[in-house]
A and B are shown apart, each in its own frame.
Chain A
Amino acid sequence: DQQVKQNSPSLSVQEGRISILNCDYTNSMFDYFLWYKKYPAEGPTFLISISSIKDKNEDGRFTVFLNKSAKHLSLHIVPSQPGDSAVYFCAASDRGAAGNKLTFGGGTRVLVKP
Chain B
Amino acid sequence: DVKVTQSSRYLVKRTGEKVFLECVQDMDHENMFWYRQDPGLGLRLIYFSYDVKMKEKGDIPEGYSVSREKKERFSLILESASTNQTSMYLCASSSGQTIFSGNTIYFGEGSWLTVV
| Chain B residues with a Cβ closer than 8 Å to the other chain, count | 32
In the complex, whether B72 has a CB less than 8 A from a CB of chain A is no
Contact digits for A101-112, partner B, Cβ 8 Å, 1 yes 0 no: 111111100000
**Are A104 and B102 in contact, with the CB atoms below 8 A?**
no
Q: In the assembled complex, how far is the CB of residue A11 from the closest CB belonging to chain B, in whole angstroms?
A: 15
- Are B100 and A100 in contact (CB-based, < 8 A)? yes
| Chain A residue nearest in CB terms to B41 | A106
Instruction: Give the complex CA separation of A88 and B4 in angstroms.
Output: 21
Instruction: Kindly supply a per-residue 1/0 record for chain B positions 26-50, scoring 1 wherever the CB is within 8 Å of any chain A CB and 0 otherwise.
Output: 0000010101000011111100111
Is the CB of B22 closer than 8 A to any CB of chain A?
A: no
Residues of A contacting B35 in the complex (Cβ-Cβ under 8 angstroms): 104
Contact A41 to B42, CB < 8 A, known contacts A46-B103, A49-B102, A98-B56 = no
In the bound complex, residues from chain B placing their C-beta under 8 Å from that of A6 are 42
B108 close to A43 (CB less than 8 A): yes
Q: Does A89 contact B (CB under 8 A)?
A: yes
In chain A, positions 1-20 with a C-beta closer than 8 Å to chain B are: 4, 6, 9
Q: Smallest distance from the beta carbon of A4 to chain B beta carbons, Å?
A: 8
Q: List 21 A-B contacts (CB under 8 A).
A: A9-B40, A43-B90, A43-B110, A46-B103, A46-B105, A47-B102, A48-B102, A49-B102, A93-B100, A99-B33, A99-B48, A99-B49, A99-B56, A100-B94, A100-B96, A101-B45, A101-B48, A104-B35, A104-B42, A106-B42, A107-B42
